[in-house]
Chains A and B, each alone.
Chain A
Amino acid sequence: MKTSTLYNRRDFLRLSALSGSGLFLGFNLLPTAKLDAAVYDAALESTFNFNAYMSIGIDGIVTIFSPNPEVGQGIKTSFPMTVAEELDVDWANVKVEQAPLDASRFERQVAGGSGSTPHSWKRLRQAGATARQMLMEAAANRWKVPVSECSTEKGVVIHKSSGKRLTYGELAMEANKITPPKEVTLKDRKDFKLIGTFVKGVDNQAIITGKPLFGLDFYREGMMIAMLQRPPAFGLKLKSVDSAAAKAMPGIMDVVTFKNNVAVVGKSTWEVKKAREVLKIEWQEDGKLESTDDHNRIFKELLNSDKAEVRRKDGDTEGAFKTAAKIIEAEYQCPFLSHSPMEPMNFFAHVTADKVELIGPTQNPSPVKNDVAKLLNVSPDKVTVQMTRMGGGFGRRLKSDFALEAAELSSIIKAPVKVIWTREDDMTGGSYRPACRYRFRAALDKEGNITAFHLRGASINAGDSTRGGNNFPVGSIPNVLIDSVDHKSAITTGPWRAPITNFLAFAEQSFLDQIAEATGKDAVQLRLELLDKAKKSPTGAIKYDIDRFKAVIQLAAEKSGWGKQKKGVFQGFSVYFAHASYVAQVAEMVKVKGKPVLKKIYCAVDCGIVVNKSGALNQAVGSVVDGLGHAMYGNLSFKNGAPEQSNFNTYRLIRLNEIPDVEVHFVDNGIDPTGLGEPVLPPLGGAVANALYKATGKRVNNQPFMSGNDDLLEKML
C-alpha cells in the first residue's frame, strides 16, 4: 500500500548539535545512549512538526520512542512493534524509551478512549517505512545501483544480485542525508513478521526485578513528601485548622493550607502520615451532603421527570406504545465505583521562578501541562511533564487534580515535593464512575416484532448517561426515543474504563434477553434478526457496522456451541459495540448443590488486526475479570456525603480464586486495528446475568449482583 508521508526535509531532526556528528529521525550516532527528557527536548527544540519515533545507533541498535503513556494497556510494546515492523528490524535489536510530552510532534499522547492504536497505526507504520526507504537509498547510492534492486531483512539492506549487504548501523549517517521520500510503500499484511505475534512487555525485566518505574518510585535529593487532608465528605469545605500538634511531630517541615486542602510536608511518608492524623480541622457545609438513600429517591424522580433531554428520536414512539400488543419494561441500576488503581494517585512537582517540572503517572499529560500553567499563571512552554509508567489508571488518571495540587503546593513551599495519596485518600477522593439507573421499554406487535423502544437514562453527575443514544438496537426499530436526565451532585465523577457503556451495555443486553424470552426467540437469533432489519430497512443513523456485528455474534455462538444444549450447562449471551471494537460473549454456568457456579466465558473480539497477540489476550482476559469483579462486588455507597468504603477490606475486588476459564477468539478480517483497553469489558455483565437467569430463573437487574443475593450467589465465582 502506497501512502503519503507526513514529513518534509525540515521535519527530520538532527541531533548533530548534541553529538557533534549524529542525526536523528532520525538516526543518531550516539551509541544508543539513553536519552533523558532534557536531551530529547533540547533536540526537538531545533525543529518543528516532527513525528520523532526513532534513532538508529552505529551499532545497529534502534531506539524507538513510544509517545503514549503506559498504563498497563501495553502501548509501550505495541507501538514500537508497529514501527519496527515497517522498519524491518530484528526486535531483539530494538530498545524502547518513553517519549516525553510533546503535543506538537506526537499530536495525541493520551491513554484513554481505546484511541491510541486507531489514531497512530498508520503514523507509526509510516515512520518505520520512511526510515527504511532512506536506508535503502543510502545503500543504493553507495553501491551505485537502483534503489528498486535493494531490499531489507532484519536491519540489513541487501542487494540481491551482487550479494552486497550493509547494516542499518553502517548506513545511519549516510541515510540521514537522504531527502525523506514523499510517499512510501507500506507492507502487505501477509508480509508482517512481528505484528500479530506474541511479544513480551518491554518493561518485563524491570517489573520482575523491582526496578523503579512508577510515579511513587520517583525520588530526588532534597524532595519533600506531602499528604493532603481533603474534605472528608463531598459538600464540605474547610472552616479552621489547628496544625500546632502536627507541626511539632518529628520530620515535619511545614503545614500549609490552600483551597480546601491542608498539606502536611515532611521528610518521609510515615512521618507525614502520622502528623496528618493529629491535625485538628473543622469543616463546614458547602453544599448538600448526599447519601445513597437520597440517590435512590432521586433516580425515581428522574425516571419520571418531564425535563429529560432527548438524545435520539426516530418515528413516533408514543403512538407505537399506544397500539402495542405487549409492552416490556425493566429498570437497571448501578452504584458509584472507585477506580482503585493499585498505585494510588501521586505526583512530583518542582516550581521555580523560571520553570515548572512535573513528573508522575498521568494518562493525559497535555491537560496536566496546560492546567498547571493556567493555575500558576505561567506560559505552558515553561512547564515540562515527564510520564512515568502507571500502576493502573482505569480513567482516574485522565484528570489533572493530583498534579495541580502538587504544583500549587510546590509553588507555596518553594521546594520540590511529591504529593502522595494513601489508599483511603484515593478511594474517598472522588472522580468516581457515576451511579446510573436506566428504564427500558419495548412495544411488541402481535407477531413479536419490536415496534418501539424507549430508553431513559437517569444519573448522578454523568451528563448524558445514554452516550448519544446511538447504541444497538437503534437502527433496527422504527420508533425510538432515547432521553436522559442528570442530577448535579457535589460527588465528583469522571471516566471509568469504558465510560457509561461499562453498565449501559449490561442493562441493554439484559433487556434484549427479556425481549427474546417474551417473544419466544433464541437470544442469538433475536440479535441477528434485528441486525438484518437494520440492514434491510434502517431507521435513522447507524453507527455500527452490521456485518462486523453479525460476524462476532456468529463466532461467539460457534465457539461456545450455543444452542447445542450441553447437559447441565446454562449459557447467557451478550454482544456490544463500543470504542470502535465488537465483542460478543457467552457465559456458562452449572449448578452445584442448587447454587449457580460460573465456569467459563467465551469471548469473540473484532478489533481488526491484532498488533500484539500477548498484549491483546492480556487485555481481553483482564477486561473479563475486571467486568466480572465489578459487576459482582463493586459498590461505593455514601452517607452524608462521605463514602462508606475506604480501603480493600470494605471495597471488594475480585481475586485469583474467583476467576472462570476465559477463551478468547479474535476475528481475522485484516481491518485496521481499533483499541482494546476497554471494549471487552462492557458486554460481560450481560452475559453473566443472562446465564444466571437461565440457571436460576432469577433476573439480577442491579449491580453489584451480590447485593441482596448473598445466599444465592455466594459460590458463583
Chain B
Amino acid sequence: MANFSLKINGKTLQADVTPDTPLLWVLRDHLGLLGTKYGCGIAACGACTVHVDGEPMRSCSLPVSTIANAKITTIEGLSEKGDHPVQLAWDEKDVAQCGYCQAGQIMTAAAFLKKNPKPTDEDIDMAMSSHICRCGTYHRIKDAIKLASTKMK
C-alpha cells in the first residue's frame, strides 16, 4: 500500500492503495466519485474515460502510480453546474437510453471539441468510434456533438 496524492477536479485528494490500482477503482472505491463507469476493464469500451491533463484517457487501464502530478477531471468536475456545452447538448438531444456509457462519451466529446470545435462527420466518427453504447444511441450522440459545437466558447 502507498499513499497517493491526486489532483482531481481542482482538489487534492488522498488515496491509500496499491500502486497498480487503476485510477477507475481509486475514483469509485476510495474517493466516492461514481460518475466514471466500469465497462470492460481493458480500455475497449470507453465508459471509464476521464481527462488527464485535458486528454481523454481510459481510467480502467491507468495505474494510479503513473499519474503523478497530472490534473484529473472526471464527469463530476467537467462543469460546476452541469452546464458544459456538451452536457447541455446531451440533455437537449435526450441522448441517453440506459445512460451508463454516457459519462465516458461526454468526456471524450468534450476533450475532442476543445481541440476541434467545428468537426466534420468524419472527425466525429474518428473521435467517437472507440466508445461502445450498447443501447445504440449513436445517432443522438452525433447530433449532440454537432449541437455542442455551436455552443462551444
Residues of A at under 8 Å CB distance from B? 71-74, 198, 200-201, 203-205, 207-214, 216-217, 219, 225, 250, 268-271, 340-344, 389-394, 422-424, 614-615, 618-619, 621-626, 629, 647-649, 653-659, 662
Specify which chain A residues have a CB less than 8 angstroms from the CB of B29 in the assembled complex.
225, 268-270
Specify which chain A residues have a CB less than 8 angstroms from the CB of B96 in the assembled complex.
72, 201, 203-204, 207-208
Do A657 and B134 form a contact, CB below 8 Å, given A207-B103, A423-B40, A662-B139? no
Specify which chain A residues have a CB less than 8 angstroms from the CB of B1 in the assembled complex.
250
Among B76, B90, B132, B138, contact of A342 (Cβ-Cβ < 8 Å): B132
User: B residues 32-79 with Cβ under 8 Å of A?
Assistant: 32-42, 44-45, 47, 74-76
Q: How far is the CA of A647 from the CA of B33 in the complex (A)?
A: 25
A343 touching B98 by the CB < 8 A rule?
Answer: yes
A657 touching B103 by the CB < 8 A rule?
Answer: no
Do A392 and B38 form a contact, CB below 8 Å, given A270-B17, A622-B135, A656-B138? no
Specify which chain A residues have a CB less than 8 angstroms from the CB of B30 in the assembled complex.
268
A-B contacts counted at CB < 8 A amount to 186
User: B residues 74-108 with Cβ under 8 Å of A?
Assistant: 74-76, 82, 87, 90-92, 94, 96-103, 106
Is B6 in contact with chain A by the CB < 8 A criterion? no
Q: How far is the CA of A655 from the CA of B128 in the complex (A)?
A: 8
Quick one: which of A204, A342, A659 has the most chain B CB within 10 A? A342
Tell me the dominant secondary structure on chain B's binding face. loop
Q: Which residue of B lies closest to A392 (CB)?
A: B98
Q: How far is the CA of A208 from the CA of B132 in the complex (A)?
A: 17
Is B3 in contact with chain A by the CB < 8 A criterion? no
Q: How far is the CA of A614 from the CA of B142 in the complex (A)?
A: 16
Interface size on B, residues (CB 8 A): 60
B22 touching A624 by the CB < 8 A rule?
Answer: no
A210 touching B35 by the CB < 8 A rule?
Answer: yes
Q: How far is the CA of A250 from the CA of B19 in the complex (A)?
A: 12
Is B112 in contact with chain A by the CB < 8 A criterion? no
Do A219 and B32 form a contact, CB below 8 Å, given A344-B38, A622-B135, A648-B45? yes
Is B18 in contact with chain A by the CB < 8 A criterion? yes
B42 touching A648 by the CB < 8 A rule?
Answer: yes
A72 touching B44 by the CB < 8 A rule?
Answer: no
Q: Given known contacts A342-B100, A342-B101, A390-B98, what 9 new A-B pairs fall within 8 Å (CB)?
A: A204-B90, A344-B38, A344-B39, A389-B99, A391-B99, A392-B134, A621-B139, A653-B134, A654-B136
A198 touching B94 by the CB < 8 A rule?
Answer: yes
B18 touching A343 by the CB < 8 A rule?
Answer: no
Q: How far is the CA of A662 from the CA of B143 in the complex (A)?
A: 13
Among A341, A394, A655, contact of B129 (Cβ-Cβ < 8 Å): A655
Do A656 and B142 form a contact, CB below 8 Å, given A390-B98, A422-B41? yes
Specify which chain B residues have a CB less than 8 angstroms from the CB of A662 in the assembled complex.
139
Chain B proximity of A626: nearest CB distance (Å): 5
28 A-B residue pairs with CB within 8 Å: A72-B98, A198-B94, A200-B92, A207-B103, A209-B82, A209-B87, A210-B36, A210-B75, A214-B37, A217-B34, A250-B1, A268-B21, A269-B29, A270-B17, A270-B20, A341-B100, A342-B134, A343-B37, A391-B37, A391-B98, A392-B135, A393-B98, A394-B134, A622-B136, A622-B137, A655-B129, A657-B125, A658-B129
